Structure 1
Amino acid sequence: MTRVAVATAFGGPEVVRIVDEALVKPSAGQVLVEVKAIGVNPIDYKLYSGAFGSDESTLPRHLGSEASGVVLEVGNSATGPAGPISVGDEVIVSGAQGAYAEKLLVPADAVLPKPESLSWEEAAGLLLVAGTAYDTLAVTNVSEGDTVLVHGAAGGVGSVVVQLAKAKGARVIGTAREVNHDDLRALGAEPVEYGDGLLGRVKNLAPDGVDVAIDTVGTDEAVDVSLALVVDKRRFVTIAAFERAGKDGFQSVGGGNPESAERRKKARLDLVKSAGAGDFGVTIAKRFSLDETAKAHEELKAEHPRGKFVLIP
């Protein structure tokens, strides 16, 4: 048996329950993982909120898509992106279904080696934000010498965007609450407060405009300021303002886009190796037990400390 978190109805975090489920042996191409830590993401609670539909045939909905742990059992031909998988391997699970669990049966293709340098928590919270960040930089072709405006630069995705863009030799201006400005400076970004007057504050820092804008928050302010600053709309991308992207003709990634999914999948190994080498990292803001899943979601929906939330089974 394994304990798992599921949404038993559509609504808020109050619909989340912890239940016992039977385990089955891995079949060919599958891996059973003992979970050590689980990444918590806004999409996890949005999927049962009703925002994407409320088909009751999908209930109970198993939650979570990323985790880290130790391989307990392997099926025949269990080969992941880095090669054959063995019992005892320390791994990162990415793109799984039902990762909020003590034990998790997944396709071998979802399993990557965990670098020793990463903690269980860092590994569990790595690939969703890193893959999204990588995707935004790829479609906007960020390169050395670019000035990049990052909206929500202190957030989970935004902070990785900052680090990856700096590694490419770009100048980064990042919007954030003042309480996070020192953290952004430590990452090499030039922080700016969002809110009324944002356009003027960015122009003061970059009087010649910016080459690229990356929006991780989806507000009209972020979109309007970016449209006023970026000449080439192909170099403005959002991960949240999909309606505005369609209306105003700039780029979006994620949201079920198959090209985005493929780019992120191909980048997984390189991103894990890069994180393991210390080229970039994720900040862990708070840890919760599996029993506290609903509490974690409630706090994630509100203003919260910078960094990722993780569950510990």
Structure 2
Amino acid sequence: MTAETRDVATDLGRAVQFVERFGGPEALRVVAVPAPHAAAGQVRVKVTAAGLNPMDWFMTSDADTAARFRLSLPSGFGTDYAGVVDEVGEGVAGFSIGDRVFGGALSRTVAEYVVVEPDGAIAVGGSAHHTPKALDDRTASALTIAGSTAAAALAVVRLAPGDTVLVGGAGGGVGVFVVQLARLAGARVIGTGSAASADSLRDLGAEPVIYGPGLADRVRELAPDGVTAALDLHGTDTAEVARELGVSDARITTIAAQIDGIVPANGANAAPGALEEIARHVAEGRIRLPIAATFPMEQIGAAVELQSGRHVHGKVVVDI
């Protein structure tokens, strides 16, 4: 179907939305909505899978927070997706009907259809990237936000062979990419986590260390020659410990908080081509992206509850 030949009169699709109010997973509904269509410069994607991220439930947790992200009722849910192009608008080059794609569209991807601008920004028109042939849709659907954020964070600290990097929250969605990309860059990785996450961190290539009081001493024991860079993927505790260990502010970054003197990282600032490179690494087996659980769209509440618990090792994906 092209944008010019569609029949808009009978088109409907399912989508997960906040209909009456913002809030927790109990406020989400699966509803029938008019299917969106590709206008000039856009493609429509028939979504097959949508990966969940902490930002999805954080920015829709209440009306005031949603307003900060320019969201209003009824509002969709989810930002990462993978699927197949089924409409191409006028003026779009490089994408055809039937192409497998992945990307992001702010708070509207847990739905049967999403319309995006192939070269757009996630927070505005959405984005689309070609899915490598060897990459399945569930895995592709979990790449965009976490992968872009990891790439942007690593660009701040500029790792090189011989670096020893401390990664706070190494087992989370962004941490999975940071640890493995840092290892590919030739760095030694010390990753914070709970005792229960130690084995999964080792599997990723990190040396695990328990977070919490006494972290600086535990890191000194592991790395008596010092730490040269740090990424705090959870809050500020790891960044403050890195300062205590003598790491310069220029080689520390955060993604979930701001600290005076330290440059924060934002996935929107990832270098062009960074996400495609990560997708190739995953497709070719150099980066492993564990999928912890999958849920059908009708079980969106359970999916969000699991993901928002912050103790799941790997990504949570919704099958559409």
> TM-score normalised to the size of structure 2?
0.87
In the alignment, structure 1 residue 2 sits paired with structure 2 residue 13? yes
Q: What is the DSSP-based 3-state SS (H/G/I as helix, E as strand, rest coil) of the residue aligned with 2:292?
A: strand
CA distance in 2, matches of 1:63, 1:303: 18
In the alignment, structure 1 residue 310 sits paired with structure 2 residue 317? yes
Matches within 5 A, 1:39-188: 39-50=51-62, 53=65, 55=67, 58-79=72-93, 84-109=94-119, 110-188=127-205
Over 3 Å counting, the alpha-carbon distance change for 1:230 and 1:279 in structure 2 is farther
Correspondence for 1:292: 299
Whichever structure has more helix as a proportion of its residues is 1
State the number of aligned residues.
299
> TM-score normalised to the size of structure 1?
0.89
Q: What is the DSSP-based 3-state SS (H/G/I as helix, E as strand, rest coil) of the residue aligned with 1:91?
A: strand
Q: What is the DSSP-based 3-state SS (H/G/I as helix, E as strand, rest coil) of the residue aligned with 1:86?
A: coil
Q: Is the 8 A contact 2:162 2:188 kept in 1?
A: yes
Please report how far the alpha carbon of residue 57 of structure 1 lies from its aligned counterpart in structure 2 after TM superposition: 7.4
CA distance in 2, matches of 1:106, 1:57: 17
**Given the alignment, which residue of 217, 224, 245 partners 1:200?**
217
CA distance in 2, matches of 1:139, 1:267: 14
Over 3 Å counting, the alpha-carbon distance change for 1:52 and 1:252 in structure 2 is farther
Correspondence for 1:257: none
Percent identity between matched residues is 39
C-alpha RMSD of the superposition: 1.9
Please report how far the alpha carbon of residue 295 of structure 1 lies from its aligned counterpart in structure 2 after TM superposition: 1.9
Please report how far the alpha carbon of residue 92 of structure 1 lies from its aligned counterpart in structure 2 after TM superposition: 0.9
Please report how far the alpha carbon of residue 115 of structure 1 lies from its aligned counterpart in structure 2 after TM superposition: 1.2
CA distance in 1, matches of 2:239, 2:15: 38
CA distance in 2, matches of 1:97, 1:53: 13
Q: Is the 8 A contact 1:212 1:230 kept in 2?
A: no
Unmatched segments (≥5 aa) in structure 1: 255-259
User: Deviation string for 1:192-229 (max 9, x for gaps)?
Assistant: 111232111100011232100111111x5323312211
Please report how far the alpha carbon of residue 303 of structure 1 lies from its aligned counterpart in structure 2 after TM superposition: 4.5
Q: Is the 8 A contact 1:96 1:106 kept in 2?
A: no
User: Deviation string for 1:50-98 (max 9, x for gaps)?
Assistant: 386354971122111111111112112223xxxx111111111224551
Matches within 5 A, 1:264-303: 264=271, 266-303=273-310
Residue type matched to 1:293 in 2?
I
Residue type matched to 1:94 in 2?
G
User: Deviation string for 1:1-23 (max 9, x for gaps)?
Assistant: 11111123122222111111112
CA distance in 2, matches of 1:60, 1:271: 34
Residue type matched to 1:22 in 2?
P
Q: Is the 8 A contact 1:38 1:124 kept in 2?
A: yes
Correspondence for 1:236: 252
Over 3 Å counting, the alpha-carbon distance change for 1:45 and 1:96 in structure 2 is closer
User: Deviation string for 1:267-296 (max 9, x for gaps)?
Assistant: 222222232222213110111111122221
Over 3 Å counting, the alpha-carbon distance change for 1:186 and 1:60 in structure 2 is same
Please report how far the alpha carbon of residue 266 of structure 1 lies from its aligned counterpart in structure 2 after TM superposition: 4.4
Correspondence for 1:14: 26
Q: Is the 8 A contact 2:230 2:239 kept in 1?
A: no
